[in-house]
Amino acid sequence: MSERHHEEAPEKGGFISRLRSARPLDVAGAIVKAVVVLVTLVVALDLVGVLDVFEDEQLEPSTVARLPGEYLYLDDERVDAYLGQLRGGLSPTEQRSISLTESRDAQLGLEQVVQIGGNVERKEVIERTVSSGAADRFYVLESELEARFTEADDVGLRFKSVLAPGEGCEEIARLETIKEGQILRILGANLRVPTYALALAKIAHADQFLAPGQAEVPRQRLTQLARDSQPGLKRLVDSLGPDPQLPLRLQIKARGGCQVFMPARYSKVIDAPSMLTGPVTIVGKVVRRLTRKESTYFDVDTAVRYERALRRSAPGVRRMLGLDEVGVRNVVNSSATVHYPGLVLLPLAMYK
């Protein structure tokens, strides 16, 4: 009876006993199969979002809630300088790698593998260099400013958005609202370019800033200037230098009106002049804020550079640019002057 009972009784620890009695290669194969099943399950759960084992690659989390912009102006060097100060230094590129390891039974005869005991292992490393573009880094800078300076700090220099239509000028006029050194985002303002700067190709189609008493320059006159006055036009452009500073202005028509003067680098303007018309968004640093006590700003560099270049140009070029009616000096000085309420803004980016 005891022998029959022994034969029918279930074997205790059957799996362990079978594992001990199995051949080494069979044991290795079973372990490999179990590992493959486990890895497959983990990967599947990660893909559907149940687990987050493999971190998704992304540049930086963004807190800027807006559609991607079409950049009309971008000062990438200044963007990098500001972003580097916020982060304690920047690396222009970073090396990323993904390591994939696969282990199988040695009897499968895989090629280009490393023999490890009874198993074989194949390791593949995928590497790539990631370089962020100028627009990417500006987007990250905006995100950093939004995250760090939403609330006012000890001196009130928070990152602030000003909506140009409506109460934009009232905000600019209030002393407690905007301070020098602050970075602003101004939305919905119209860009203006002095008539004498329309000879530069990148801004030829921008809306015009007119001095008092000056008439608007017809578009067909600019076309005629480009077609018939090439030598004189070239002499004017060459006199301005390889990368002239542009006396751009934002015209804000809200409750009395106000103006923002923006000295911008010509090389940073996108080569698509037709896009400079209409409302734009500007992000920049306030370098001068006008008050009732100090109510006027005059940009000496603009006045000297452009008056000298225009006086060296041919009379026909000046006439085409509408400078005969009120004179070169009056037009240039008017475009270089800003009155209260107003700002001088060092632009970082302009986009639509």
Residue-wise pLDDT tens digits, 320-345:
888 987 899 999 999 999 998 889 99
Residue 11 lies in a domain: no
Mean pLDDT for 274-301 is 90
Mean pLDDT for 55-63 is 43
pLDDT digits (tens, 9 = 90+) for 219-276: 888 888 878 777 888 888 888 988 999 999 988 876 667 889 999 999 999 887 678 8
- Choose between 309 and 26: higher pLDDT: 309
Angle at 290 between CA 255 and CA 292, to 5 degrees: 75
DSSP β-bridge partners for residue 252: 258
Question: Which band of pLDDT confidence, cut at 50, 70 and 90, is reported for residue 53?
Answer: very low
Residue 141 lies in a domain: yes
Mean pLDDT for 141-145 is 87
- The domain tally of the chain equals 1
CB 191 within 8 A of CB 264: no
Between 121-125, 158-162, 259-263, the lowest mean confidence (pLDDT) is in 121-125
Supply the range of the domain harboring residue 147: 136-351
Residue 31 lies in a domain: no
Residue 67 lies in a domain: no
Which runs of consecutive H residues, i.e. helices, occur in 126-251? 134-148, 168-173, 219-228, 230-239
Residue 125 lies in a domain: no
% residues pLDDT > 70 (the chain): 64
Residue 216 lies in a domain: yes
- Angle between the 134-148 and 76-87 helix axes, to the nearest 10 degrees? 40
Question: Which band of pLDDT confidence, cut at 50, 70 and 90, is reported for residue 36?
Answer: low
Mean pLDDT, all residues of the chain: 75
Residue 291 lies in a domain: yes
DSSP element (H, E) containing 318 = helix 315-320
Amino acid, single-letter form, for residue 157: L
Mean pLDDT for 305-312 is 93
Report the C-alpha gap between 203 and 273 in whole angstroms.
Answer: 5
Mean pLDDT for 283-301 is 93
Report the C-alpha gap between 213 and 227 in whole angstroms.
Answer: 27
Report the C-alpha gap between 260 and 24 in whole angstroms.
Answer: 81
pLDDT digits (tens, 9 = 90+) for 180-216: 888 999 988 889 999 999 888 888 888 999 999 898 9
Tell the burial category of 118 from Cβ atoms under 10 Å away from its Cβ (0-12, 13-18, 19+): middle
CB 98 within 8 A of CB 125: yes
- Choose between 141 and 101: higher pLDDT: 141
Question: Which band of pLDDT confidence, cut at 50, 70 and 90, is reported for residue 6?
Answer: very low
pLDDT confidence of residue 46: 52
CB-hemisphere CA count at 13 Å for 285? 9
Q: Does 349 score more than 90 pLDDT?
A: yes
CB 236 within 8 A of CB 313: yes
Q: In the sheet where 114-116 sits, what is the strand order? A: 93-105, 119-131, 114-116
Residue 52 lies in a domain: no
Between 82-86, 118-122, 136-140, the lowest mean confidence (pLDDT) is in 118-122
pLDDT confidence of residue 210: 92
Give me the phi and psi of 29, to 5 degrees please.
-65, -40
Q: Does 178 score more than 90 pLDDT?
A: no
Q: Which two tokens stand for residue 293?
A: 């006590």
Report the C-alpha gap between 202 and 275 in whole angstroms.
Answer: 10
